């Protein structure tokens, strides 16, 4: 519904925030239900509580988790548009979403340690814009909580401690080390977005972008697809389980991307998401017309 005084971009961005905060994508819910079917004892009860929470949040348009995270926006839009106008609309939608309660005030100015109160401030929301030659916009939103961000990590290869060389077996060892180090502190079962290569900054950027993909999507690189499967299987043999209570479901999925690296560097980066993988996508025309919302990315 169009609200008085709000432009159309604000309206569609506000709805995207609501969906990301309150409506867990069905592929993630399906993975949790699969985990429920194979877990036992306290781990099974933990997944049961999570699934009840997911259902209630969707029905009542309430946040899936009290930590609604930091917002990560990825936008492709016609190069004829005013990027600052789009940015302004995101900021205004963010303020309203915070006022309504779809978002918790999470933007803290680090020098004074004061909360801005409306989720806006220096470099937040996190907005990545890319111009393209099409006459519509695609928008991806990821809400990334603090606990999962705290256990995200990066390892430089070779690494003698884990016996990891500069090859794909070294990548496997590095990812398993990072997942094991996270234990239950990132609210497992989680999803591991991985980047092989790049510099340190690009590694985190690409790793986080993997979290925008559906869990059912297939890696186009067959070698990496097999590596994803092996890492997931071995991670789920660690016994960490839901919330660290033990069990056979530590990871719901592994998604791997890559970037060219410097000859002297070989970084493996993990952006870890908790079970509440809050990602949604939007496609709309100029001025926010004809919005289409999707759990999966638009091409």
pLDDT in tens, 184-229: 899 999 999 999 999 999 999 999 999 999 999 999 999 999 999 9
Q: Of the candidates 137, 135, 170, 144, which has an alpha carbon nearest to the alpha carbon of residue 156? A: 170
Secondary structure, 3-state, 9-48? HHHHHHHHHHHHHHCCCHHHHHHHHHHHHHCCHHHHHHHH
97-152: per-residue pLDDT in tens?
Answer: 999 999 999 999 999 999 999 999 999 999 999 999 999 999 999 999 999 999 99
Distance CA 70, CA 208 (A): 13
Distance CA 219, CA 225 (A): 5
> What CATH number has the domain spanning 8-21+64-145+278-294?
3.30.1330
The predicted pLDDT at position 299 comes to: 77
The predicted pLDDT at position 1 comes to: 39
Distance CA 271, CA 223 (A): 21
pLDDT over threshold 50, residue 4: no
Task: Give, for 49, the enclosing helix (H) or strand (E).
Answer: helix 41-60
The predicted pLDDT at position 82 comes to: 92
Residues 6 or more apart whose CB falls under 8 angstroms from that of 179 comprise: 190, 192, 231, 235, 238, 250, 251, 270, 272
The predicted pLDDT at position 8 comes to: 86
Mean pLDDT of the chain: 96
Q: How much of the chain, in percent, has pLDDT values that exceed 70?
A: 98
The predicted pLDDT at position 7 comes to: 81
pLDDT over threshold 70, residue 11: yes
Mean pLDDT in residue range 246-265: 98
Distance CA 78, CA 154 (A): 34
Residues 6 or more apart whose CB falls under 8 angstroms from that of 80 comprise: none
Domain residue extents for the chain: 8-21+64-145+278-294, 147-273
Count Cβ atoms below 10 Å from residue 220 Cβ, excluding itself.
7
50-101: per-residue pLDDT in tens?
Answer: 999 999 999 999 999 999 999 999 999 999 999 999 999 999 999 999 999 9
The predicted pLDDT at position 2 comes to: 44
pLDDT range class, residue 6, cuts 50, 70, 90: low
Cα separation values, 246 from 178, 233, 251, Å: 17, 15, 12
Mean pLDDT in residue range 19-39: 98
pTM given for the model = 0.95
Neighbour-count burial of 118, counting CB atoms closer than 10 A to its CB (0-12 exposed, 13-18 middle, 19+ buried):
middle
């Amino acid at each position: 519904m169009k609200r008085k005084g709000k432009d159309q971009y604000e309206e569609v961005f506000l709805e995207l925030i609501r969906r990301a905060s309150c409506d867990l994508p069905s592929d993630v819910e399906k993975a949790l239900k699969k985990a429920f079917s194979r877990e036992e004892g306290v781990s099974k009860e933990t997944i049961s509580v999570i699934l009840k929470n997911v259902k209630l949040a969707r029905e009542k348009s309430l946040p899936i988790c009290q930590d609604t995270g930091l917002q990560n926006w990825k936008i492709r839009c016609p190069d004829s548009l005013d990027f600052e106008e789009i940015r302004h609309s995101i900021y205004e939608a963010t303020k309203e979403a915070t006022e309504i309660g779809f978002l918790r005030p999470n933007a803290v100015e680090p020098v004074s340690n004061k909360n801005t109160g409306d989720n806006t401030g220096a470099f937040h929301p996190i907005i990545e814009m890319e111009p393209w030659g099409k006459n519509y916009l695609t928008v991806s939103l990821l809400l990334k909580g603090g606990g999962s961000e705290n256990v995200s990590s990066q390892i430089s290869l070779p690494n003698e401690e884990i016996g990891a060389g500069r090859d794909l077996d070294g990548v496997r060892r590095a990812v398993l080390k990072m997942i094991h180090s996270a234990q239950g502190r990132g609210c497992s079962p989680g999803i591991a977005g991985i980047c092989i290569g790049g510099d340190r900054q690009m590694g985190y950027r690409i790793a986080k972008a993997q979290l925008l993909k559906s869990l059912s999507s297939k890696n186009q690189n067959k070698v990496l697809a097999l590596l994803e499967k092996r890492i997931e299987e071995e991670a789920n043999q660690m016994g960490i389980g839901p919330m660290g209570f033990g069990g056979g479901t530590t990871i719901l999925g592994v998604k791997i991307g890559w970037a060219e690296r410097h000859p002297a560097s070989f970084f493996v980066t993990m952006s870890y998401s908790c079970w509440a993988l809050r990602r949604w996508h939007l496609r709309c025309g100029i001025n926010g017309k004809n919005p289409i919302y999707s759990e999966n990315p638009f091409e």
